[in-house]
A and B are shown apart, each in its own frame.
Chain A
Amino acid sequence: MSTAATRRIRFRYAKGGKIRFTSQRDVARMWERALRRSGLPVAWSEGFSPRPLLSFGLALPTGCESSGEYLDVRVEADVGGPIVDLAGLAPQLTELLPEGIDVQAAAGLEGVGVSLQQEVTSCNWEMEVQGVLAEELATRVGRLLASPSVLIRRERKGRPVEDDLRPAVRSLALLVDPVDRTPVAGTARIEAELATHPRGVRPKELLEGLGTDLVLVRACRTHQWIERDGSRWEPLDPDGHLPPGADAPHAQERAS
């Protein structure tokens, strides 16, 4: 029995199905309620209107699915005894969260660390697209990649601004059948890696860069990456492994 306190716990979860239509704020509230029901001693902020200290990564746009979302939770350090059964936490929270939120892993973090929003450098997306034939889409993908800049219009603080999308597109490809290398039958699917700094580019914005006649049917964030010194890691992989240097040794010990 260890009394060493875990200060932060990182969760990895998937979001899919009907619940994709809930917003990031909605998901935050679901987590607050589920954590309360779990009995985990979540730490609260001080002040006039105290809040539980939860820190989510990059917001997932309403309507999108994800197989890799993250949440850091600060827990009370001064609670005695084996406060957190990390191994049991993921299935327990999956049970307490609504259908469609699937908690895949939990791990203790060392120190205060930087926020997920700062840490994550890029995201992978898979998108299902309608509006043009796959061949035409393939041409447009090639054209976008060959262009030095791709301007899109968006609103910032109520005013229209032009943004260059191109620097954020780290990779972009039409998904093809692995055997005969032709586009996946029936529907056009693309895969993209989009940078998150200085600003996270959304799937809909990428699609706008490929042509305003395209309709985004479905989008799924498949990975979020932390890139450092030429290597990259997920903030927490499905097996519960953290990037080097991020794990809390005591917590890890108890989890295994």
Chain B
Amino acid sequence: MESLWPRIEPLLDGVAKPARYIGGEQGARQPVHGEGRVAWLLCYPDTYEIGLPNQGLQILYELLNDRPDALAERTYAPWVDMEAAMRAAGVPLFSVEGHRPAAGFDVIAFNLSAELVYTNVLNLLDLAGLAVRSADRRPGDPVVVAGGHCAFNPEPLADFVDAFVIGDGEEVVGEITEVLAAHWRDRPGAGALGAAVPAGRDGTGVARAGLLRRLAGIDGVYVPSLYRPEYEGGRLVAVEPVDGAVPARVEKRTIADLADWPYPRRQLVPLTEVVHDRLNVEVFRGCTRGCRFCQAGMITRPVRERPAAQVDQMVRQGLEWTGYDEVALTSLSTADFSGIEGTVRRIIEDPRHGERVSVSLPSLRVDAFTVGTAAQIQRVRRTGLTFAPEGGTWRMRQVINKLISEEDLYRAVDAAFSQGWRRVKLYFLIGLPTERDEDVLGIAELGARCVAIGRRYHPSVTVVASVGGFVPKPHTPFQWFGQDTVAELRRKIHLLKDAGRRTRGLTIRWHDPEASAAEGIASRGDRRIGAVIERVWRAGGTFQEWSERFDLTLWEEALAAEGLSLDDTVHRHREQDEALPWDHVSAGLHRDFLWGDWQDALAGAGLEDCRWTPCYDCGACTGFGLEHVVASATPPAGGSQGTGQDLSTGGRVPVELVSARRG
């Protein structure tokens, strides 16, 4: 496969941030193609600076390149100026390592982290010179694979992706590699793997169909062309396999023990600025806090902690290798990691790191955030502190099962301000089930109390309340809930803005409600949404997660052209017995469990964390013969968020703060 670099280089003088297209990162591989190795192109369908740090992609990149029968290169979505230059010059999508054309790879694998990137997936396939629809692809074309959290509802992209991987990818990528290698080995006359002439690989469309069947035989792999959706009266009633050779339900893959997968060992260090530009070490996967809006927490169960000694080692080696002075301990709720204080202390106090290493704990849980941990983190460099109460009132937080009591929240905020922070950011959702205006206004009230706490320590403090419109996600208890309309979200934002104005020091920020609507289309849509996505893409709607590029009218027009509506797709409450587009994909969670939890939500009843309490039989462990891997048998200090706390007092506001609203 030839390098396109001589044709790419002249384009780079005229585009923004050209370093995004040159590769050359520390840790990047230069794999040798051919020699019977299955060539993967790992593709993050957003800009380089968003995609490069993605840990999932980096893990698979290393695993594949370490195999003797595989290799992997990477690509990202070129920004619109570069895309225009490429199309004008006839340069196709290319890998950043060898600048090789995407269509020359055996597999193009997309990471789906967010729904609004779907139009980019189509655009990248087109830019690669491939047909966007699977059915139109030629026998020798690469196999198009997709994985990541959004693959848990694969239907909106079912017409474009040949095979989805559901769940953890670590083991599956190897199995797919073996199936592809065996398939081509078994076919006499097939060209060498990864050779320059891909058309030699496969003779006929029949052979491609046979390959997809073999892929469908791998646990956790869903091949949508082998499943047929059925509709009655404009509603989906079932998605069923075309014959008995493929499973009726595709179960997700789960790695049992994170300790077996200490990756990435050589985190990629980019030459240019990216988001999360630091060492990232995953300390556990999965979460059983049970927040009902959170898809990640539901689909990644059970909890699998990395042994603390391995975390220490990965941090030490990672800092030495990268030269970074910041490490993030990543997970869905890092404060829950057994012995988190000790882990942080060991990093900060390790003389090999010098005195300049800072630790960041993304997604801090509010309640267990002790003064001690705050003090340790701030010793080096004070970055902003962010808490996510998500709901403005205790009642709301019981509905969503984010069981942070008022008292715990104020204690955490007090700890932050007393340790010298002057700026605290709070994340909230609006448009939640059963939400009343008083819950929305509760956000302003809560923010005002936080400002009052801060003023005890410093005359000018800032509290930023950032508000997002809730989008119900598949495989969660809220999957049946009808999302708020754009107009309703706007009304609530205005309400909140007005209330927030009364407090000096409180800033209200919000996400565009129109973007939430478009996300809702792709989040819970069925296979008919594929045609909508294709229309939006053909109308120029790429990079829809970028506010300067987003346009809801493109989505509304596409829906109308397909005879669909926002009301039915996004805003409608689903019935208990209604077929859901992702019913044939399983995250292990029993539908009964989810429905029961939905009913508990509507009744405002909370549910404790099952790491430290008896099993609710959600299905995630029992269905796969797995168990939680948790070092500590007791809940972390603070003991709140529903674990062993007295839920009846969760809404109690400390007396001295009751009148703090008018700051």
User: Which residues from chain A sit less than 8 Å from chain B, CB to CB?
Assistant: 18-19, 21-23, 25-26, 29-30, 32-37, 44, 48-50, 62-63, 96, 98-100, 216-217
A26 touches B273 (CB 8 A): yes
Give the docked Cα–Cα distance between A36 and B381 (Å).
17
A100 touches B24 (CB 8 A): yes
User: Which residues from chain B sit less than 8 Å from chain A, CB to CB?
Assistant: 5, 10, 12-13, 18-19, 21-26, 269, 271-273, 277, 320-325, 354, 356, 381-382
Given contacts A22-B19, A26-B19, A37-B323, contact A50 B273 (CB under 8 A): no
Give the docked Cα–Cα distance between A23 and B22 (Å).
13
Given contacts A25-B273, A26-B271, A30-B271, contact A36 B325 (CB under 8 A): yes
Q: Determine the residue in chain A with the shortest Cβ distance to B381.
A: A49
Give the docked Cα–Cα distance between A48 and B384 (Å).
13
B269: chain A residues at CB < 8 Å are 33
A21 touches B324 (CB 8 A): no
Contact of B13 among A32, A35, A37, A63 (CB under 8 A): A63
Give the docked Cα–Cα distance between A19 and B25 (Å).
10
Give the docked Cα–Cα distance between A248 and B273 (Å).
35
Q: Determine the residue in chain B with the shortest Cβ distance to A38.
A: B323
Contact of A21 among B19, B25, B325, B354 (CB under 8 A): B19
B322: chain A residues at CB < 8 Å are 33
Contact of B323 among A25, A34, A63 (CB under 8 A): A34
B22 touches A18 (CB 8 A): yes
Given contacts A19-B24, A98-B26, contact A32 B381 (CB under 8 A): no
B18 touches A19 (CB 8 A): no
B381 touches A98 (CB 8 A): no
Give the docked Cα–Cα distance between A36 and B354 (Å).
10
Give the docked Cα–Cα distance between A22 and B23 (Å).
11
A62 touches B273 (CB 8 A): no
Contact of B271 among A35, A98, A217 (CB under 8 A): A98
B273: chain A residues at CB < 8 Å are 25-26, 29
A18 touches B323 (CB 8 A): no
B321: chain A residues at CB < 8 Å are 37
Give the docked Cα–Cα distance between A81 and B324 (Å).
26
Given contacts A29-B273, A33-B323, A34-B323, contact A23 B24 (CB under 8 A): no
Given contacts A37-B320, A49-B381, contact A63 B24 (CB under 8 A): no
Give the docked Cα–Cα distance between A34 and B321 (Å).
10
Q: A22-B19, A36-B324 are in contact. List 16 more A-B contacts (CB 8 A).
A: A18-B5, A19-B24, A21-B12, A21-B21, A22-B272, A26-B19, A26-B271, A34-B323, A36-B325, A37-B320, A49-B381, A63-B18, A98-B24, A98-B26, A99-B24, A100-B24
A44 touches B24 (CB 8 A): no
Q: Determine the residue in chain B with the shortest Cβ distance to A36.
A: B323
B356 touches A21 (CB 8 A): no
Given contacts A23-B272, A26-B273, A29-B273, contact A18 B381 (CB under 8 A): no
B325 touches A18 (CB 8 A): no
A32 touches B323 (CB 8 A): yes
Identify the 6 closest CB pairs spanning chains A and B, nearest first.
A33-B323, A21-B18, A37-B323, A18-B22, A22-B19, A36-B323
Q: Determine the residue in chain A with the shortest Cβ distance to B25.
A: A98
A36: chain B residues at CB < 8 Å are 323-325, 354
Give the docked Cα–Cα distance between A99 and B271 (Å).
10
Distance to closest chain B CB from A80 (angstroms): 16
Given contacts A30-B271, A37-B323, A99-B24, contact A23 B19 (CB under 8 A): yes
A63: chain B residues at CB < 8 Å are 12-13, 18
Distance to closest chain A CB from B377 (angstroms): 15
Q: Determine the residue in chain A with the shortest Cβ distance to B9.
A: A18
B271: chain A residues at CB < 8 Å are 19, 22, 26, 30, 98
Distance to closest chain A CB from B129 (angstroms): 24
Distance to closest chain B CB from A47 (angstroms): 11
Distance to closest chain B CB from A111 (angstroms): 26
Q: Which of A18, A23, A35 has the most CB of B within 10 A?
A: A18
12 contacts between A and B (CB under 8 A): A18-B5, A18-B22, A19-B22, A22-B271, A34-B323, A36-B324, A36-B325, A44-B356, A62-B19, A63-B13, A99-B24, A217-B10
Distance to closest chain A CB from B225 (angstroms): 40
Q: Determine the residue in chain A with the shortest Cβ distance to B324.
A: A33
A62 touches B356 (CB 8 A): no
B25: chain A residues at CB < 8 Å are 98
Give the docked Cα–Cα distance between A35 and B324 (Å).
10
Q: Which of A22, A23, A216 has the most CB of B within 10 A?
A: A22
Give the docked Cα–Cα distance between A216 and B18 (Å).
16
B23: chain A residues at CB < 8 Å are 18
B26: chain A residues at CB < 8 Å are 98
Give the docked Cα–Cα distance between A48 and B382 (Å).
8
B323 touches A21 (CB 8 A): no
A48: chain B residues at CB < 8 Å are 382
B272: chain A residues at CB < 8 Å are 22-23, 26
A216: chain B residues at CB < 8 Å are 13
Q: Which of A23, A30, A36 has the most CB of B within 10 A?
A: A36
Distance to closest chain A CB from B405 (angstroms): 33
A98: chain B residues at CB < 8 Å are 24-26, 271
B277: chain A residues at CB < 8 Å are 29
Q: Determine the residue in chain A with the shortest Cβ distance to B10.
A: A217
Give the docked Cα–Cα distance between A99 and B356 (Å).
27
Distance to closest chain A CB from B15 (angstroms): 9
Distance to closest chain A CB from B592 (angstroms): 52
A50: chain B residues at CB < 8 Å are 356, 381
Give the docked Cα–Cα distance between A110 and B526 (Å).
71
Give the docked Cα–Cα distance between A68 and B382 (Å).
37
Contact of A18 among B24, B320, B382 (CB under 8 A): B24
A23: chain B residues at CB < 8 Å are 19, 272
Q: Determine the residue in chain A with the shortest Cβ distance to B272.
A: A26
Distance to closest chain B CB from A187 (angstroms): 13
Q: Determine the residue in chain B with the shortest Cβ distance to A100.
A: B24
Q: Which of A21, A25, A29, A35 has the most CB of B within 10 A?
A: A21
Q: Which of B13, B271, B321 has the most CB of A within 10 A?
A: B271
Distance to closest chain B CB from A102 (angstroms): 14
Q: Determine the residue in chain B with the shortest Cβ distance to A216.
A: B13
Q: Determine the residue in chain A with the shortest Cβ distance to B20.
A: A21
Distance to closest chain B CB from A216 (angstroms): 8
Give the docked Cα–Cα distance between A181 and B386 (Å).
67
B24: chain A residues at CB < 8 Å are 18-19, 98-100
A22: chain B residues at CB < 8 Å are 19, 22, 271-272
Distance to closest chain A CB from B534 (angstroms): 34
Q: Which of B10, B22, B23 has the most CB of A within 10 A?
A: B22
